[in-house]
Amino acid sequence: MDCSRARELNLNGLRGRLSSEPAAELREHLATCVSCRAHVEAERVLSEVLEARLPQHAAPLALKRRLAASWPTSTRAATAPRRIWRSAQAAARPMAAAASVVLVIGGATAFFVQQRSDLRQLESETVNDHVRMLGGAPLAQVTGGLHEVKPWFGGKLDFAPAVRFAGNDDFPLQGGAVEPFLDRRAAVFVYKRRLHAASLFVVQGDGLAFPASLRTGTVRGFSVALWKDGGQGYALVSDLNLPELLQLQGEIASR
């Protein structure tokens, strides 16, 4: 039985015109077809809503007498198809509900898998760009403190990076650069910690999977911290150990 035939029998069942043999075929089809089970359940709910919401009017007495005269002597044969159909519907309801749960869980799982994949892509891009920076290949760069670096970004980016940490004795600011970051340009702030370099990439966060709260991890031996604030995405990376990187992240975020 194909789906169009099953849905035709579904309507016949709702109208009380379904015999036992087609009803059995329909039950077999519903046992294997998620789409038709969902269709049966939707039609049932719609019928119940219409019965509850539409106004009910009593039939005239003359019409009732004409209908009674036209009914067969025994109503058992007429009511049996409806009982059979209701049995088929009752069997389909749990299966339709289970199918709905599977679809919801499947959609949520796909969302979280995609989200993890997007975060891994950000971490990988951050490490790749940091390594390229260490190799001395930025698009443009400048040395100096915050008052030299921030004005230098003017005209080179389509946003103003909201970084206020000018460095300190533990993490002096060395300079800045402009680097490609996925599909956009990033402002880069370079801090030092003894002989280690730490790169802070700042980009417009729209369209990228920067987490709203801090996410940290280790990628190919590099410590990485990702977060989002005020519409801008922040990616901090270094070969420092993670506790030291988090000290620098705390200084940047607290400003």
- Give the separation between CA 23 and CA 47, rounded to whole angstroms: 19
Residue 151 lies in a domain: yes
Domain count, the chain: 2
C-beta atoms surrounding 158 within 10 Å: 8
CB 227 within 8 A of CB 183: no
10 belongs to a structural domain: yes
The reported pLDDT for the residue numbered 108 is 46
Contact (Cβ atoms closer than 8 angstroms) between residue 187 and residue 214: no
**β-sheet bridge partners, residue 238:** 198, 223
CB 236 within 8 A of CB 252: yes
Q: Are 226 and 182 in contact (CB under 8 A)?
A: no
pLDDT at 112: 46
Measured in degrees and rounded to the nearest 5, phi and psi for residue 72 equal -70, 160
Is residue 8 one of the residues assigned to a domain?
yes
Place of tokens 């969902």: 38
What pLDDT shows up at residue 111?
43
pLDDT of residue 37: 76
**Residue 219 maps to which CATH number?**
3.40.1000
pLDDT at residue 6, rounded to an integer = 76
Q: Is there a single domain that holds both residue 149 and residue 238?
A: yes
- 97 and 16 within one domain: yes
**Mean of the per-residue pLDDT values for the chain?**
80
Residues found in the chain:
255
Confidence band, pLDDT 50/70/90 cuts, at residue 227: very high
Cα angle 131-132-135, degrees, rounded to a multiple of 5: 90
3-state secondary structure string across 1-15: CCHHHHHHHHHHHHC
Same domain, 63 and 166: no
Would you say 132 and 209 are in contact if contact means Cβ atoms under 8 Å apart? no
pLDDT of 91 reads 64
- How is residue 65 annotated by DSSP? H
Residues 142 and 68 in one domain: no
Is residue 63 located within the same domain as residue 165? no
Give the structural domain span for 155. Answer: 138-254
Between β-strands 215-219 and 184-193, what pairing exists: parallel, antiparallel or unpaired?
A: unpaired
Position 125 in a domain? no
pLDDT at 11 over 50: yes
Region 76-101: mean pLDDT is 60
Q: Is the whole-model pTM more than 0.85?
A: no
The answer to whether residues 145 and 236 belong to one domain is yes
In this structure, the answer to whether residues 147 and 204 fall within a common structural domain is yes
Residues 83 and 149 in one domain: no
By percentage, how much of the chain surpasses pLDDT 70? 69
Burial of 196 (0-12, 13-18, 19+ CB in 10 A): middle
Residues 145 and 250 in one domain: yes
Assigned domain for 127 exists:
no
**CA–CA gap between residue 180 and residue 39 (Å, rounded):** 50
Per-residue pLDDT tens for 27-85? Answer: 887 778 877 777 777 677 666 655 555 555 666 777 767 767 766 655 445 455 566 56
**d(Cα 25, Cα 32) in Å, to the nearest integer?**
12
Residues 104 and 146 in one domain: no
What band does 23 get if pLDDT is binned at 50, 70 and 90? Answer: confident
Least confident of 66-70, 164-168, 223-227: 66-70
Q: What is the pLDDT of residues 102-155, one digit of tens each?
A: 445 555 444 444 566 788 999 999 999 999 888 876 656 888 899 999 999 999
Q: Is the pLDDT of residue 88 over 80?
A: no
Q: How does residue 160 score in pLDDT terms, banded at 50, 70 and 90?
A: very high
Same domain, 228 and 151: yes
- Position 191 in a domain: yes
142 & 248 share domain: yes
